[in-house]
Structure 1
Amino acid sequence: MKKTTKKLDNSVIKALTIACETAKQWDSGFLWLTHSANYQHFPASLRVTCVFGQESEIQEAYAQGMDNDLRRIIHSELLRIGVQVKDNNRLVRFDSEERCLMEDQGNWNRRLAR
């Protein structure tokens, strides 16, 4: 990874950490998030996966509009570091520990690689 790419990735990590810590305070079942990106096609290739404990917590987040709140805070934190994403719905996806355990035996590396 080039020095400029590593610096950009570190900035993205810091921005997403702020968004993550904020969302964890909402008492919604949200646990953590991670990201992936092909920096040759950045920011269009950026994907953020928000992980909840249970599928029912994701459904509740949708019902209460927390999915939009989470997308907004992620978008806002990325904008603070100068990363502008055009499609917020494509940027953020939701998953659960429960689904990963059922479909991938808890192997997040394999799951996220798809």
Structure 2
Amino acid sequence: MQKTVKKLDNNVIKALTIVCEQAKQAVPGFEWITHTASYDRFPGSLAVICVFDTQASIEQAQAQQLDVYLRRQIQGQLLKVGIKLKDARHHVRYDSEQACEAQNNGNWQQRLKLH
């Protein structure tokens, strides 16, 4: 990994770690956050995946507009480290441990290739 790519990735991780810690307190059912990116097409290729315990928790968060809260937090923290997303709705996705277990036998590496 080139130095500039490593620095970008570290900045993404730093921003998402802050969001993760806040979301664990504020969003019921939220468990963790991860990302994928193709850095030759960055930031357009950035995908942020917010992982919940169950699909029902995702639906409840969306009903309470906590998905909007998460997107705003992600966008704000990324902006603080110099990464501007045109439209966070295209970059932020929601998934669940329940779905990964059912569809990918709990293999997140395999599942994230689909995002």
| Same fold? TM cut 0.5 | yes
Q: Contact 2:27/2:66 (CA < 8 Å) preserved in 1?
A: no
Q: Percent identity?
A: 53
- Aligned residue pairs total 114
Superposition pairs for residues 1-114 of structure 1, below 5 Å? 1-114=1-114
How far the C-alpha of 1:111 sits from its partner, in A, is 0.3
SS in 1 for 2:93: strand
How far the C-alpha of 1:91 sits from its partner, in A, is 0.6
Matches of 2:26 and 2:9, distance apart in 1:
26
Matches of 1:9 and 1:50, distance apart in 2:
17
SS in 1 for 2:26: coil
Cα-to-partner distance string for 1:60-111 (whole Å, 9 max, x where unaligned): 0000000000000000000001100012111100000000011111110000
How far the C-alpha of 1:27 sits from its partner, in A, is 4.5
Question: Which consecutive segments of 4 or more residues in structure 1 shift more than 3 A?
Answer: none
Matches of 1:90 and 1:7, distance apart in 2:
23
What 5-or-longer segments of structure 1 have no aligned partner?
none
Matches of 2:86 and 2:26, distance apart in 1:
26
